[in-house]
Amino acid sequence: MQQISNMTTEQQNVDTKYIDQMSTKEILIAMNNEDKTVPDVVKKAIPQIEEFTDAVVVSMKKGGHLFYVGAGTSGRLGVLDASEIPPTYSAPVTLVQGIMCGGLSALVTAVEGAEDDYDAGYAIVAERGLTENDCLLGITTSGSAAYVHAALKHAKKIGATTGLLVCNNFEKTPDIDILIQAVVGPEVVTGSTRMKAGTATKLILNMITTTAMIKLNKTYGNLMVDLMTTNKKLWDRGARIIRHCSGTDYNHAMETLKKSEGSVKTALVMVLLDIDADEARKRLAVYNGALRKVLDEEGKTLNL
């Protein structure tokens, strides 16, 4: 493992060396210019992101889960991504789990030395009940967090698929099945990896889980047909999706959505096939929730 002082995210950015003498506008432009480089860095890592994502899909189809384990900003982004999956895709809260080094309190307050606690990282894998059907992605910008590497080691030992996401050059170890590197280079403020490294991490986590949900039949086209109607905004969005896709009026869409107990996918089958909620659920279950396959069987399509 390379010395922290040699990591690119710890190097001084020559383009922002005198940032404290810039105007507000100049600072913002400098930051924006640096941020523009991140998508191209992520693009270079797509083959490895693809490999890990495919492993996640296989895992989930076998009843497995995706675990993120990270420290600092990396850990917080993992928890954020995991927490957004249930409401967006009506997925179980256990399907994607974010493990924050230092515990939940570390989400809002730094816990000193937590990322160096190897024993705690090793123990968390057993505490969360990982099995060989699961995937674990360690997230550490520097690649140096002992907590994360301990979790990877334990997960690999029990047969889970392991991945590591870093934002520096890193040499793959035997505990890592898939290494994802997004080398973003020096930060605007030296060593402040909540910036470009954080942006790259957010992009990659979004890519992994969104692609996995699409592959698990959670969308129709690019429409969120499996969202969880947990508030007025989402009930409205659900009704609008039904109206748009089926051509029915808004009131009928909302009425059907209520009969389906808030399931947009079920409501769409009800409207398109003119059946009740129980029958619609049965049809979807036959195809593991694949709305397109249910409709194809009856020669029906949705407006996109």
Closest by CA position to 222, among listed 302, 289, 281: 302
Most confident of 83-92, 99-108, 199-208: 199-208
Give the per-residue pLDDT at 3: 59
Amino acid 228: pLDDT: 83
Average pLDDT over the chain reads 93
127-143 tens-digit pLDDT: 999 999 999 999 999 88
Whole-structure pTM value: 0.92
Q: Where in the chain is the domain with CATH 3.40.50.10490?
A: 4-215
Whether the predicted pLDDT of 279 surpasses 60: yes
Question: Considering the chain, what percentage of its residues have pLDDT values greater than 70?
Answer: 98
Please state which CATH class domain 232-297 belongs to. Answer: mainly alpha
State the average pLDDT over residues 105-115.
81
Give me the helix-helix angle, 196-215 and 46-61, nearest 10°.
40
Non-local (6+) Cβ contacts of 286 within 8 A are 294
Q: Is 26 a catalytic residue?
A: no
Q: Which CATH class is domain 4-215?
A: alpha beta
> What pLDDT, in 10s, does the model give residues 65-90?
999 999 889 999 999 999 999 999 99
Checking if the pLDDT of 2 tops 80, the result is no
298 is annotated as an active-site residue = no
How many helical (H) and strand (E) elements, i.e. helices and strands, does the chain have? 13, 5
State residue 62's pLDDT score: 95
* Higher local confidence (pLDDT), 285 or 110: 285
Of 57, 79, 8, 78, nearest in space to 37 by CA: 8
Task: Copy the structure tokens of residue 123.
Answer: 């123990």
pLDDT for 234-246, tens place per residue? Answer: 999 999 999 999 9
Task: Give the model's pLDDT for residue 297.
Answer: 92
Residue ranges of the chain assigned to CATH 1.10.8.1080:
232-297
So what's the pLDDT on residue 111?
77
State the pLDDT at residue 106: 86
Give the model's pLDDT for residue 103.
87
Q: Are 241 and 223 in contact (CB under 8 A)?
A: yes
pLDDT class for 271, splitting at 50, 70, 90? very high
Residues 6+ away with beta carbon under 8 Å from 24: none
For range 181-186, the mean pLDDT: 94
Residue 1 has pLDDT above 90, yes or no: no
| Cα distance between the two ends of the chain | 49
| Weakest mean pLDDT among 48-52, 75-79, 112-116, 203-207 | 112-116
Sign, Cα dihedral of 262, 268, 274, 275: negative
From 10, 84, 255, 279, the catalytic residue: 84
pLDDT tens digits for range 4-57 = 667 888 888 988 999 999 999 999 999 999 999 999 999 999 999 999 999 999
Res 201 pLDDT > 70: yes
Confidence category of residue 161, pLDDT binned at 50, 70, 90? very high
- Which secondary-structure segment (H or E) carries 50? helix 46-61
> How far is the C-alpha of 76 from the C-alpha of 71, rounded, in Å?
7
